[in-house]
Amino acid sequence: MAESPEILAARQAMIAKRFGNNAPSQTGGKGSVRRKKKTASRSSGAEADRKLQAQIKKLQATAIPGIEEVNMFRDDGKVIHFSNPKVQATISANVYFVSGNSEAVALESLLPGIVSQMGAEAIQALQAQVQAMGMGGGAPGGAQAQEEDSDDDDVPDLVEGTDFEAASNN
């Protein structure tokens, strides 16, 4: 049985429609392939935090309650300041974990309440910094500090054998 040219033309049109004959491709609708679900990747920060917490748990660190602030002194004169941190410690390994929001602030901004926390090296460095500011004259009050030093030079030395009480009674 020979097929008519109309049927052959219709068959060619259907094949072109199904398999593409440089025709615009179909996106969506009935019979199209479903889109695969894109999984949202975890942020690397959350992944690192989870791994870090697992390691802390392995070290059997215990939480230390009641710590209101933690200050870490840097060599450049700044302080890493934690307000209300979470502090955990492993005493046997001499390891402390401090977590929370931190900020790097200048030492001068925390000065009145931070002196009791400072070590000997930090206090000496602070004194040297204050002296350098006072001697340089660039800081306010530098000239006043130099005047006080010159007043000490005006006090005479004690003279042996002089009775100052008798001189003051006259």
Angle at 104 (CA atoms; ends 75, 100), nearest 5 degrees: 120
pTM for the full predicted model = 0.44
**pLDDT by residue (tens digit) across 47-94?**
888 888 888 888 888 888 888 888 887 877 788 888 889 999 988 888
Residue 29 lies in a domain: no
The Cα-based distances of 19 to 25, 118, 125 in angstroms read: 9, 78, 80
> What order do you get walking across the sheet with 102-106 strand by strand?
69-73, 78-83, 102-106
Question: Does residue 116 form part of some domain?
Answer: yes
Q: Give the pLDDT band (50/70/90) at residue 6.
A: very high
Share of the chain above pLDDT 90, in %: 3
- The total number of structural domains that make up the chain: 1
Q: Which two tokens stand for residue 141?
A: 């009050």
Domain contains 82: yes
Residue position matching structure tokens 């052959």: 8
The CA distance from 135 to 51, in Å, is 51
Six-digit token string for 87: 């502090």
User: For residue 112, is it within any domain?
Assistant: yes
- CATH code for the domain of 68: 2.20.70.30
pLDDT band at 127 (very low <50, low <70, confident <90, very high): confident
Q: Is there a contact between 70 and 87 (Cβ–Cβ < 8 Å)?
A: yes
Residue 141: its pLDDT value, please? 45
Could you tell me the pLDDT band of residue 137, with boundaries at 50, 70 and 90?
Answer: very low
Does 64 reside within a domain? Answer: yes
Are 127 and 88 in contact by the 8 Å Cβ rule? The answer is no
